[in-house]
Amino acid sequence: MEKPHSDALVFFGVTGDLAYKQIFPALQALARRGELEMPVIGVARSDWSPEQFRERVRDSLEKHGGVDEEAFKKLSARLQFLSGNYADDDTYRRLRELLGASKHPLHYLAIPPSTFELVAQGLAKSGCGDGARIIVEKPFGRDLESAQSLNLTLHKFFAEDAIFRMDHYLGKEAVENLHYFRFANTFVEPVWNSNYIASVQITMAEQFGVQGRGAFYEEVGALRDVVQNHLLQVLALLTMEPPQGSDVDSMRDEKLRVLEAMRPLSPAELVRGQFEGYRDEEGVAPGSVVETFAALRLHIDNERWKGVPFYIRAGKQLPVTGTEVLVRLKQPAHPVFSADRSCCENHFRFRLSPDVMIAIGARTKLPGQSMVGEATELVAQRHAHEEMTPYERLLGDAMHGDTALFTRGDTVEAAWRIVDPVLGNAAPALPYAPNTWGPAAASDIIAGDGGWNELSIEGKKDDPK
Ligand code: NDP
């Protein structure tokens, strides 16, 4: 049965930072494509006039991608502002009035996580939740227990297929690409297992620090900010079994299965780091032990991945900004070219940002008499940037009721189960100098597997997220 298209967008947290940086540009892009033929109601405590609201949107667009006058005109004609506190029943009563004949509103909760429950309840009690969908921004919980509790609360008011847990990383073209490449190519599957793969590593490096958001980061740290969500989701896409069907739940079932097969992290396989100078940032406690860097080793206890180590490394103030997956293949047991010492290192490399690249590492013979070669890369795909921003893609999908690129409740919990044992101060936060690859100990956990992939990306400072 075809799912109804949303007929109103209600945007909680419209005066916030995320709205300003990401959502207004995404809404303009949707308006340009004719995908925003509905009222857009912004809700916040502030009491803005319609003009103030429009000015804020224009200002956001000027700073983030530019104003497209025609699309902006369409967008502004749809904007309405509702001032009200989320704790106040009257806010939802007035919202119901504003929604008028709307039968399938999409409620986007771009608000502090502490208010998710309040708003979900307010929507349900007032009738604004009837026939509606709800998008919940990250973070989804702070640990396993809080994620379970949030799932329970949301399920009291909304069915699972009406809940869209946002992990904007899954809306990235490069991440979908990786998934496509894996299952669309016959030559990949035969080697995609412990017989041929020696190790898999993912690095998400940020050249910048906390960018004035020290108070926010103090509550989060690298494990919660990017590992539990974005990077474990990427790892699940890399390692899941082929889905049994082409429907959304077949894929989500396989993601769940592989996350459940990942061993919970142990402090012995984790290195936490903190860049020197972090404690001087505004909003950061002088004795903070929050990690701005994490390097970890994971294991998947199933037939396909028995014995293969998986490494994840994420950090701030590193030498470059970029995200890459490197899949190293095993060397042949009896190398034919024994004189060629580094023969026969093969790999797959997937760059997710700042540009998009898929490459296969191979060796070719150097001209001359001896059978000695050099490393080369066959670049299967390379393009500079994404067609659509993740927020544009995901908002459009949610309006269509398409949950494929959103995280299911049980999958979020499975990912928390993996990181839960090492949250907090499970391993010391070792200091590291800015512009280095984190504490020296991070190299030790991968030393036996060829070391970390040093991303060869130049001079980019953009946020890879
Ligand atoms: P902000 O603190 O900048 O904005 C919060 C918004 O919520 C404001 O519009 C505020 O309204 C409104 N609000 C808060 N409490 C109430 C209340 N009781 N009643 C009515 N309105 C209220 O947050 P962000 O925009 O930074 O983040 C929003 C969500 O998005 C969070 O879940 C965050 O984790 C997530 N996120 C943010 C990212 C970012 O880059 N900022 C990146 C990824 C996710 P008012 O200003 O009028 O008080």
Ligand 1, atom 2, lies closest to the CA of 16
- Cα of 112 to ligand 1 centre, how many Å? 5
pLDDT, one tens digit for every residue, the chain (465 residues): 789 999 999 999 999 999 999 999 999 999 999 999 999 999 999 999 999 999 999 999 999 999 999 999 999 999 999 999 999 999 999 999 999 999 999 999 999 989 999 999 999 999 999 999 999 999 999 999 999 999 999 999 999 999 999 999 999 989 999 999 999 999 999 999 999 999 999 999 999 999 999 999 999 999 999 999 999 999 999 999 999 998 999 999 999 999 999 999 999 999 999 999 999 999 999 999 999 999 999 999 999 999 999 999 999 999 999 999 999 999 887 778 877 766 668 999 999 999 999 999 998 899 998 888 888 999 998 888 767 899 999 999 999 999 999 999 999 999 999 999 999 988 999 999 999 999 999 999 999 899 999 887 765 445 555
- pLDDT score for 381: 84
For residues 353 and 424, state if they share a domain: yes
- pLDDT score for 465: 58
Residue 161 forms part of a structural domain: no
For residues 118 and 182, state if they share a domain: no
Nearest residue to 419 via CA among 218, 222, 239, 251: 222
230 is catalytic: yes
User: Does the C-beta of 219 come closer than 6 Å to ligand 1?
Assistant: no
Six-digit token string for 324 = 């890459």
For residues 247 and 379, state if they share a domain: yes
Residue 156 forms part of a structural domain: no
445 contact partners, CB below 8 Å, separation of at least 6: 269, 271, 295, 296, 297, 311
User: Does the C-beta of 45 come closer than 6 Å to ligand 1?
Assistant: yes
461 contact partners, CB below 8 Å, separation of at least 6: 207, 208, 321
For residues 197 and 315, state if they share a domain: yes
Domain finish residue from 137, 155, 185: 137
Six-digit token string for 210 = 């906390």
- Cα of 232 to ligand 1 centre, how many Å? 25
**Model-level pTM greater than 0.85?**
yes
For residues 131 and 181, state if they share a domain: no
Residue 320 forms part of a structural domain: yes
Mutate to test the pocket of ligand 1, among 45, 47, 88 (most ligand atoms within 8 A of CB): 45
For residues 382 and 279, state if they share a domain: yes
User: Does the C-beta of 111 come closer than 6 Å to ligand 1?
Assistant: yes
Residue 398 forms part of a structural domain: no
Cα–Cα distance measured from residue 252 to residue 246, given in angstroms and rounded to the nearest whole number: 11
Domain finish residue from 137, 153, 180: 137
For residues 329 and 284, state if they share a domain: yes
- pLDDT score for 384: 80
For residues 237 and 318, state if they share a domain: yes
- Cα of 14 to ligand 1 centre, how many Å? 8
Residue 46 forms part of a structural domain: yes
For residues 345 and 239, state if they share a domain: yes
Calculated CA dihedral for residues 206, 211, 214, 219, nearest 10 degrees:
-50
Domain that holds residue 49: 8-137
Q: Secondary structure of 270-289 in the HEC alphabet?
A: EEEEEECCHHHCCCCCCCCC
- Cα of 262 to ligand 1 centre, how many Å? 33
User: Amino acid letter at 258?
Assistant: V
User: Does the C-beta of 64 come closer than 6 Å to ligand 1?
Assistant: no
Residue 48 forms part of a structural domain: yes
Of 107, 230, 299, 347, which is the active-site residue?
A: 230
Ligand 1 atom nearest the C-alpha of 168 is 43
CATH (domain of 191): 3.30.360.10
- pLDDT score for 297: 98
User: Does the C-beta of 465 come closer than 6 Å to ligand 1?
Assistant: no
User: Does the C-beta of 46 come closer than 6 Å to ligand 1?
Assistant: yes
Residue 256 forms part of a structural domain: yes
Domain finish residue from 87, 117, 137: 137
For residues 66 and 181, state if they share a domain: no
64 contact partners, CB below 8 Å, separation of at least 6: 20, 21, 22, 24, 25
- pLDDT score for 261: 98
Nearest residue to 209 via CA among 116, 311, 277, 289: 277
Residue 142 forms part of a structural domain: no
For residues 90 and 178, state if they share a domain: no
CATH (domain of 84): 3.40.50.720
User: Does the C-beta of 165 come closer than 6 Å to ligand 1?
Assistant: no
For residues 202 and 78, state if they share a domain: no
User: Does the C-beta of 87 come closer than 6 Å to ligand 1?
Assistant: yes
Nearest residue to 274 via CA among 229, 209, 219, 319: 209
Ligand 1 atom nearest the C-alpha of 13 is 9
- Structural domain tally of the chain? 2
